[in-house]
Structure 1
Amino acid sequence: MAGRTVLQAAEAIERFPLLLYKRILRLHYALPKEARLMGDTYVRDEFRRHKSVEPAQALVFLKEWASYCHTLSKQLSVKGIVNKTPIGQDFSSEFIDNFSEEQLHQLLELRIEAERYLGRNEIAKLLENSNSPEQK
């Protein structure tokens, strides 16, 4: 009996990334269409990118996505909607200070996409202006 419980626990751990991925996609159904499409694409790309990472990196990855799932679930709950809880969360400067260059670049790309969704392209315009030959 104990051997079977251990086997079931091992299978549950192995399936956790897939279950988390599916749960996030289900939560995205409650988002506006454009946000859902952007979120689904981002989640799909991230989970594909992290399929074959080291276990320590996978643990951090899954912990952060589980936190996202929990936060979004609370924000989309009846209580969150009644209280008009905004969807999303700001990062602290301490949190961002720990990002790698690649993560910062990815965060910038995500911010640009989010602003396009909101109809604001301020960051994209700033980047275009800073890269234009006239500015140099």
Structure 2
Amino acid sequence: MRVSLLRMAEATAAGSSKPLRPAPLALLPPIPLYRRILRTHRKKLDRQMRLLGDEYVKAEFRNHRDVDNPVHIIGFLTEWQMYAQQLEGDTWRGEKMDPGKIDKMSDQQLGQLYELMQTIRKQELEENDPE
């Protein structure tokens, strides 16, 4: 059996000043990403969390609709795409936030995060409260 040159070829860093690294994540355009997130919410979250998540996603995408700065757009899409991938992979439950991301947040973003945390805790208390 002959082995073709194509099958024998392997990527190497020889002769290169930079080592090989994985290809960067291809960003989805905003509308397909938005639909993917809502679809993932439908499949992975219970009803209450889905309603909360859908409302938040819709508000965030609406608020960022008129952003012109490409750096902000790329950062926004990258974070939402990583969120969708985590949700699809079930690696998000019980996971703690990266302290580096928290340090980079503005006061407004920290306020939003705090409100989200309070809403989730309130819902958990209501669900666990035997009325």
Query: Structure 2-normalised TM-score?
Result: 0.69
1:87 Cα offset (Å): 2.6
Kindly name which structure, 1 or 2, has the bigger radius of gyration based on alpha carbons.
Answer: 2
Q: Which residue of 2 aligns with 1:27?
A: 40
Is 1:71 aligned to 2:77, yes or no? no
Higher relative contact order (CA 8 A, sep 6+): 2
Partners of 2:81 and 2:71 in 1: CA distance: 15
Amino acid at match of 1:52: D
Q: Which residue of 1 aligns with 2:74?
A: 59
Amino acid at match of 2:109: Q
Partners of 1:86 and 1:42 in 2: CA distance: 17
Partners of 1:95 and 1:35 in 2: CA distance: 23
Q: Write out the 4+ residue segments of structure 1 that deviate beyond 4 Å after TM superposition.
A: none
Is 1:92 aligned to 2:98, yes or no? yes
Partners of 1:26 and 1:88 in 2: CA distance: 21
Contact 1:24 1:69 in 2 (8 A): yes
1:116 Cα offset (Å): 1.5
Amino acid at match of 1:92: D
Structure 1 residues 72 and 86: CA distance shift in structure 2, 3 A:
closer
Structure 1 residues 114 and 51: CA distance shift in structure 2, 3 A:
same
Matched residues, number:
98
Question: Where is the helix percentage greater, Structure 1 or Structure 2?
Answer: 1
Q: Secondary structure at the match of 1:51?
A: coil
Query: What fraction of aligned residue pairs are identical, expressed as a percent?
Result: 39
Partners of 1:24 and 1:87 in 2: CA distance: 16
Contact 2:86 2:92 in 1 (8 A): no
Deviations 1:67-115 (A, max 9, x none): 000000111xxxxxxxxx6636311222211111111011111111111
Contact 1:25 1:40 in 2 (8 A): yes
Query: Structure 1-normalised TM-score?
Result: 0.66
Further displaced range: 33-42 or 23-32: 23-32
Q: How does 1:101-112 map to 2 (within 5 A)?
A: 101-112=107-118
Partners of 1:89 and 1:61 in 2: CA distance: 20
Gaps of 5+ in 1: 1-12, 76-84, 121-136
Partners of 1:51 and 1:107 in 2: CA distance: 20
Partners of 1:70 and 1:35 in 2: CA distance: 17
Q: Which residue of 2 aligns with 1:44?
A: 58
